[in-house]
Each structure stands twice: as structure tokens, then as C-alpha cells.
Amino acid sequence: MHNPLLEQGALPTFSTIQPKNIEPAIKQIIAENKAELAKLLVANQHYTWENLLAPLDEMGDKLMKAWSPVSHLHAVMQNEELRAAYNVCQPLMTEYHTDMLQNETLYQAIQSVANSPEYHQLTDAQRKVIENDLRDFKLAGVHLTPAEKIKFAEYQKQLNKLMTQFSDNLLDATQAWVLHITDAALLKGLPDENMRMAKQNAEQRKQEGWVFTLEFPSYSAVMKYLKNRDLRRTMYEAYVTRASDQGPNAGQWDNTKIMQDILTIRHAMAELLGFQNYAEYSLFTKMAEKPDVVLDFLYDLVEKSKAMALKEVEELTEFAKKLDSIAQLEAWDYAYYTEKLRLEKFDISEEELRQYFSMEKVLAGMFSVVNKLYGITIQELKGKDTWHPQVQVFSVHDEKNNLRGYFYTDFYSRANKRGGAWMDEIRVRRYLSDGTLQYPAAYLTCNFTRPLEGETAYLNHDEEVLTLFHEFGHCLHHILTQVDYPGVSGINGVLWDAVEFPSQIMEYWCWEPETFALISEHKETKATLPKALYEKMLHAKNFQSAMHMLRQLEFSLFDFQLHLEKNASVEKTLNEIRKEVAVVKTPVFNRFAHSFTHIFSGSYAAGYYSYKWAEVLASDAFAKFEEDGIFNKETGRAYLKNILEQGGVYPPMQLFIAFRGRRPSIDALLRHSGLAFSS
């Protein structure tokens, strides 16, 4: 039978993938790989890279190439059949990986390569692959007793199932609620664009009036602009109680128990492996050496930002009191008065700014930025097969006009698509068994405000343009790699608290005047962002930056504490951290944790701090561009060579030092966040 998941060309043919293809393809590849593994382990006595590691790469790559489009479609084009097929295959995938990593014979075989005289003739990348493999075998329990191995494998399976349930619940809860308004008088304050979008939402549902959904762009517009305070509260409550025991759909799709179970299993797995707790286990594959290092780092930043954050809250409170006689600023007032205060203080409105940033212009400008920095050229490939008409495909060529890879963009929010923005891999750079080079490819997924039918999308600078640059940074890290071994190629094998370095550094270019000349063009006048407006923006750049910093620290500490302390209660830990850190009062019904996908269904468990951690690297590395010139060619090429091309072969600190000439300092981060004077 024809099965697109088994035909593994340079890029997948997404539109031809049917839910019914998934189970047969995954089962077939797993069976083939198992047979192949058995052959490898019997036939050879003396193991080498060529007769062991190379075939293992081949097997892993084959399965990854089938699974990547499946898990991607599951995230962005979900439907019942796809979900069902995914849920059948995910446990098979988990079982396969755990089986492999708990295979003592395979472990010994790889170990024998590490002990062989030929080991020293391998490249740094090959040796790193072996080193990581041996580490991962230990982290999957290869040394456990047979009974413990079974227990560990069972935990792993349950954990992955719960994590998927967590995110499916959130998706269902997000779709299940809308705010339907038929009286225009209630919608004062909303920009025209948002009104028209809400109208379109209603029409699609064959309803009168306006419909607002819990997809982020819709929710966020209501919170920022809607004058009606009661409706803001209604919307806020629905959003922050998704998938919980509170709010309009209380108890349906409730993640409460799932979160607790996830934590219990993670701790049990860590303990089986001999770690004190899950946080320690998590740090085993990160730059930070031990929990105290992370906590000290985070609390130091809390201390440096708290006083300023309190002032920011006070200013906003006073402003709301003055403007609308608001006696007590509530959670659903913050975004609204923040936008109003921004307008008054800096004479700058997000909606006015948005008109300068059409998707097309920003994209072209962003491509010019990286062309200047790294000499790469990005071209759209028309007519490629994709999963949605709004998806675009691009190729990346380097200075010598060599193809380096591909990426797919899927920018806009829609139903059946998970929230947030992320990058993931489709293909990894490696040589196939026939000697041809497989080029890396990546997904760049966002949830921006979708344009109205037949219209151009405009982005807001603060969130959307920055997010685009951020995710594109991840893509470049994956695509520009020069490493040919999957385990350490591109984003693979990079210590987790360094993965946000290449993404966050990109955000700094968004604030440079030379960049604005490239990414901005007014909707009507076609002028680039005027200098006066740029200066206002710069002035407003660190508006409420301490509040923003504290919020990130609150999330980081909450995540870390949950995974540090055994039997920690989600609610209790969150409340304690909030008491300690937060400057914004949260209502009792707020169930933020229930939608914290990063840690409950993503890869950031005991690792959310990575954003701040890597920001130190990104900020300080960008400071070198500030010193040398933000488009300095040599600096750009040095960054490309020392960071972007290196994948996970070397420790991030070593790479950073190679680029910067010294260890990172936190000063640049404090300066960039406007906190320097309080340190």
C-alpha cells in the first residue's frame, strides 16, 4: 500500500498524509529497526562507528522522519482521527525508545567502541555522540535490575501519555468557550481590525454580532482594548481557568490530577535512577551544575528587579485611579491600563505601530538582517506541498551559494492548532547511506493574529515581531549546522539551558534603527518607521520591564520548586512562589499552572529558568555586536562559525568563550532590561 510516511524524500508530502497511514508506517519502521538491531548485535564482534553507530543513526533517522510530520500535524491540524492515531502510536514510540536505551547488549557494544583504540581517531562530533549515547542509556535505566527496568519503562509510557493528555485538554478547553456579543455598544475601545475579525468569527459560526475566542490574539485584544470591565473579567476568567476545576467549564478537561501525576512520576523516575529529585535529574543535561546554582541565579534577579517592579505597579494603579476611578486594580485591568498608560506616557500606540509591520515586509527585512550577518540567502519555494494554504516554504543558501536547508512557516492562529510559538525539526543534517547529504529542515510555528480574508497581516512589534525573530533564531541554529551526526547536529544535543541562546539573541536586532529601516513600511504611505516614532519606541522599550522580568522569574521558580521538592502540591507551591515574588495580585480562581504547557507537556520541566539563563549568554553576545557594529560582517561570521554551526558538539560555555573571548557577564542583560542602575 502506498504510504507517504514510508516514502522519505528530501521533504515530507504533508497533504497526502492520512490518519490511516500513521499506525502501519510507525509499526513497520519499528519492526524493521528491531530486526536490524538484532542483526547488528549478533553478527559483529568488534564494534566500530561504521558497523554500529552509523546504522543506529540510519534507523533513528528513518523513524524520526516518519514521526516528525505526525506529531507536527497533531499539533497544528488536529482532528479526532489524527488524535486517535497519534494516541495509538505514541506509546509504541516510547516503548521503542526505552527498549533501545535499556538494552544492555547494545550499551556494552557502544561502550566497547568508546574503549577501542579507534575511538581516538573519530571526530569530536562522533565522540560526543557516543558520550551522549552512553549518558542517555544511563538516564533511561540501563543499569537497573530487570524489575526496575520494567517499572521505569512503565513510568515513561504513563508520563508521555499524561503529557499529551495535558495539552489535548488545553486545546479542547480553549476551543470550547467563546464570548458572543450582539450589542456593539459593549465593544467600545476595540480597534477596527479586531472588530472585523470578531465579526468574521461570528459569520463563520453563522451567528449575529461578534465572537471572541480564547485563541491568544483574540483574547489579548479584548484584554488590552475593551473598555467594558465586566466583559474583560469574563474573558480573563475563561482564559486563566482553561482545563481546570474553575471557571465557565469547571471540571471538564481538568488538568489538576494530571499535573500531580506527572510530578509524582517524574520524581519516581529520578529516584529510581539514584537522583534526589527530578530537578537534579533535569540538571544532569544542563549547564547549571546543581539546584542551588539555579535558585541563586533566579533569586538574585528577583532582588534586582523587585523594587522597580513595585514602582511600576504603583504607577499603573495611580493611573487607573486617576483615569477611571479604579479603586483596586484587578488582574483583568493590567493589560488595559498598561496600553492606555503607554499611550499617555510615550505617546505611542500599538495599533499605530502595527501599521508599519506587514508580515511580508518584516519577513523580507529579517532575511536581509541575516544576509548581512551570515551571508545567507533565503528564498521562498513556491508550489511545495504543505498542510495548510497559509504555510510557506523557504530554502537557505550560504555565501558560497551552497544549499544549507529548509524551513516551513505557519504563522497564524486558527482552530485546531495548539497555542504558542515554537520551532521543531523535520529533517536533520546527515549523510544518507547512499552518500548523499540530507539537508536540515525545520518548522517555524506561531499563533499571530490571522489576516482577514484576502488581506495582509500586520504584526505588533512588541510581541509578534520579536517572536518571529526568536523562532527564526532557533531555525537558523538547526539549519546552519555543519555537523553531520544527528545526535549533535543543529539543535540536537545542545545543553537545554543553552538552547534559547541563538533564539533570544535574534530579538535584540529587532530594536536597532538599521533593522527598522529593513522591516518597517507604513501601510499607506510606504514610509519606513519615522525617527521620532522610533525614538518613542526606544523610550518605551523598557516600560514595565521589571514586572515582565518578575513574571518570568515567578514561572521559573514555580517550575523549579515543583520539581525540586517531592510531593509538592501545584497550588500550594504556586501560591508560595507568588507570595514571595509576584507584585501583581492574582485572583483565587486563577489556574495558570493548568495551561503551563512548557513544563507539563513540553521539554522545560525544571528547565523554564533556561530562558533567563540563556538570556545572559544572548545579551552578552549581542553586546559584542553593539561594540563592533550590529551588522559587522566579521562578528557575524564569527558568531555563525562558533555558535550556529556547532550544534551540540562542544559545551556551550566553550563556544561562548570562543566567540566572546571571555566568560559571560550578567551586566548586558541588566542593561538591556533597564535594570542596570539598581544592581
Region binding Zn ion by CB under 5 A among candidate stretches 94-102, 140-148, 227-235, 499-507: 499-507
Closest separation between CB of residue 614 and Zn ion, Å? 9
**Interface with Zn ion, residue 213, by CB under 5 A:** no
Region binding Zn ion by CB under 5 A among candidate stretches 122-130, 336-344, 398-406, 503-511: 503-511
Region binding Zn ion by CB under 5 A among candidate stretches 53-61, 356-364, 370-378, 495-503: 495-503
* Residue whose CB is less far from Zn ion, 332 or 609: 609
* Residue whose CB is less far from Zn ion, 473 or 664: 473
Residue 612 neighbours by CB under 8 Å, 6+ apart: 297, 298, 301, 552, 553, 556
* Residue whose CB is less far from Zn ion, 236 or 611: 611
- 10/426 Cα distance (integer angstroms): 10
Closest separation between CB of residue 422 and Zn ion, Å? 7
Residues 93-112 that bind Zn ion (CB under 5 A): none
Nearest residue by C-beta to Zn ion?
503
Closest separation between CB of residue 173 and Zn ion, Å? 24
For 6-43, the DSSP string reads T---SS--GGG--HHHHHHHHHHHHHHHHHHHHHHHHH
Q: List Cβ<8 Å contacts ≥24 apart for 218-224.
A: 218/194, 218/413, 220/335, 221/190, 221/191, 221/194, 221/197, 221/449, 222/179, 222/190, 222/194, 223/332, 223/335, 223/336, 224/335, 224/336, 224/338, 224/339, 224/350
Q: Which three cell numbers stand for residue 178?
A: 467563546
Closest separation between CB of residue 500 and Zn ion, Å? 5
Q: Which of 478, 444, 476, 480 is nearest to 359 (CA)?
A: 444
445: three-class secondary structure by DSSP: strand
* Residue whose CB is less far from Zn ion, 533 or 549: 549
Closest separation between CB of residue 598 and Zn ion, Å? 10
Interface size with Zn ion, residues (CB under 5 A): 2
For residues 238 and 246, the answer to whether their CB atoms sit within 8 Å is no
Supply the residues annotated as catalytic. Answer: 471
* Residue whose CB is less far from Zn ion, 425 or 500: 500
Residues 364-423 that bind Zn ion (CB under 5 A): none
The number of residues making up the chain comes to: 679
Region binding Zn ion by CB under 5 A among candidate stretches 243-251, 304-312, 388-396, 494-502: 494-502
**Interface with Zn ion, residue 597, by CB under 5 A:** no
Q: Which residue type is seen at 678?
A: S
* Residue whose CB is less far from Zn ion, 333 or 500: 500
Q: Which three cell numbers stand for residue 436?
A: 548523499
- 458/523 Cα distance (integer angstroms): 9
Q: Which three cell numbers stand for residue 641?
A: 562559525
Secondary structure of 515-545 in HEC code, one letter for each residue: HHHHHCCCCCCCCCCCHHHHHHHHHHCCCCH
Q: Which of 244, 242, 222 is nearest to 233 (CA)?
A: 222
What backbone phi and psi angles, to 5 degrees, belong to 64?
-60, -40
Region binding Zn ion by CB under 5 A among candidate stretches 72-80, 182-190, 497-505, 530-538: 497-505
Region binding Zn ion by CB under 5 A among candidate stretches 388-396, 406-414, 502-510, 651-659: 502-510
Closest separation between CB of residue 474 and Zn ion, Å? 6
Name the residue with cell 517550575. 559
Closest separation between CB of residue 158 and Zn ion, Å? 28
* Residue whose CB is less far from Zn ion, 413 or 504: 504
* Residue whose CB is less far from Zn ion, 503 or 561: 503
Closest separation between CB of residue 650 and Zn ion, Å? 21
Using CB under 5 A, pick the residue from 277, 503, 520, 597 that binds Zn ion.
Answer: 503
Helix residue spans in 102-240 (DSSP H) = 104-115, 124-139, 146-176, 192-204, 216-225, 229-240
Dihedral sign from CA coordinates of 334, 336, 337, 343: positive
Residues 22-61 that bind Zn ion (CB under 5 A): none
Residues near Zn ion, by CB under 5 A = 500, 503
